């Protein structure tokens, strides 16, 4: 159950979005770039080439076992806008998201926007991401040097981030 303070912050955030939308309409939505992180489980299957082996024509075939989902996970950071995915970035196994890693990801996002959405950078970008510590540190506040607006989310607001 959410505390009253958190409920108030969520309500305020939702009302501010609704107000912006009522004032600016679809133009407001076209400026929003949403970003979020999630763990992705993966399996690296053996290729046909890797599974080849020499055997005598009369020897029995090797039994292949059914693959099961592995416990391997990798951190995926994804950014998208109303037209689709802009950037998907995977963190090297064992690394953690910190301010430096997030800044590097934002630089890659900027290049992706330049390549995929011509004119969006000059029209203005409104970055919607959660308030996790790597996203709000002074170093990541360099987003303002890009001329991007930051649309903050209240804590634990999974209802406003579609990836949660």
Q: Which two tokens stand for residue 128?
A: 């919607």
DSSP readout, 110-127? HHHHHHHSTTHHHH--EE
8 A C-beta contact, residue 36 and residue 78 = yes
- Predicted TM-score of the model (pTM): 0.74
Rg (CA), the chain: 22
Q: Which two tokens stand for residue 28?
A: 């407001």
Report the candidate in 44, 104, 46 with the shortest Cα–Cα distance to residue 74: 44
8 A C-beta contact, residue 149 and residue 124 = yes
Per-residue pLDDT of the chain (164 residues; tens, 9 = 90+): 778 888 888 888 889 889 999 999 999 999 999 988 888 877 766 666 666 677 778 888 777 666 665 667 888 899 999 999 999 999 877 777 787 888 888 999 999 999 999 999 999 999 888 766 555 566 566 677 888 888 877 666 665 555 55
- Tokens 């979020």 belong to residue: 36
Q: How many residues are given for the chain?
A: 164
Q: Cα 144–150–152 angle (5° rounding)?
A: 145
């Amino acid at each position: 159950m959410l505390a009253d303070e958190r409920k108030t912050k969520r309500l305020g955030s939702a009302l501010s979005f609704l107000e912006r939308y009522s004032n600016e309409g679809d133009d407001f939505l076209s400026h929003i770039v949403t970003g979020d992180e999630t763990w992705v489980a993966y399996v690296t299957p053996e290729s046909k080439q890797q599974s080849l082996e020499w055997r005598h024509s009369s020897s029995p075939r090797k039994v292949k076992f059914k693959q099961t989902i592995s416990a391997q996970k990798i951190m995926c950071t994804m950014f998208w806008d109303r037209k689709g995915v802009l950037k998907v970035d995977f963190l090297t196994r064992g690394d953690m998201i910190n301010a430096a890693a997030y800044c590097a990801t934002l630089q890659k996002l900027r290049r992706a926007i330049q390549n995929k959405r011509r004119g969006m950078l000059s029209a203005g970008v409104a970055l919607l991401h959660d308030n996790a510590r790597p996203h709000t540190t002074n170093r990541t506040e360099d987003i303002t040097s890009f001329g991007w607006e930051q649309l903050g989310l209240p804590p634990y607001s999974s209802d406003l981030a579609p990836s949660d």
